Structure 1
Amino acid sequence: MRHRRQARQDRQERQDRQDRQDRQDRLPDWKEQHNISHRRARARVEHVFARLKKGKILRDCRLKGDGVFWAAGGVAHMHNLALSEA
């Protein structure tokens, strides 16, 4: 009798955990749309840094004190120029 009760409680606990996980996995539509736009912007920035690393630009800048700061500012400025021309 005790084993059946324990098994029933274990099943209920597993179901409760699964229900909580399902509720946590689902996001409201507005938040999902926000995440999509955020992922796209982040991917663009990461691609820029990858290109800078590929050209060894960041390595050269890092050796010159605050060069990364100036390199990132230059990239942002070029990006803004590209947006204004488009």
Structure 2
Amino acid sequence: MNWLYCDDIPFSFVFPVYELKDEYRNRYIKRGNTDNFIEVFITNWDYWIGMFKVKKGCKKIELKTNEFLSDVIIVEGGKCYV
């Protein structure tokens, strides 16, 4: 992200709404993520979401409950659009 920002390359950052910690824990379990993965993201949820929210130089999209990347990103011809 820092390299993109420093090179003036536009990018979008997609992350869950802060209040959805339990929903995302369940998503991670359901899709078979390892315990280590879940521990890193759920244990440090406040850090990750806080960092995502203050990131500069990008478009930010917060996923609401039951929303997925496919709901906010369109892929056409190998390119992504938000």
What band does the TM-score fall into relative to the shorter chain?
A: under 0.3
Task: Indicate the structure with greater strand content.
Answer: 2
Normalised to the residue count of structure 1, the TM-score between the two structures is 0.27
Normalised to the residue count of structure 2, the TM-score between the two structures is 0.28
Q: Kindly indicate whether structure 1 or structure 2 has the higher relative contact order, using CA contacts under 8 Å at least 6 residues apart.
A: 2
Task: Indicate the structure with greater helix content.
Answer: 1
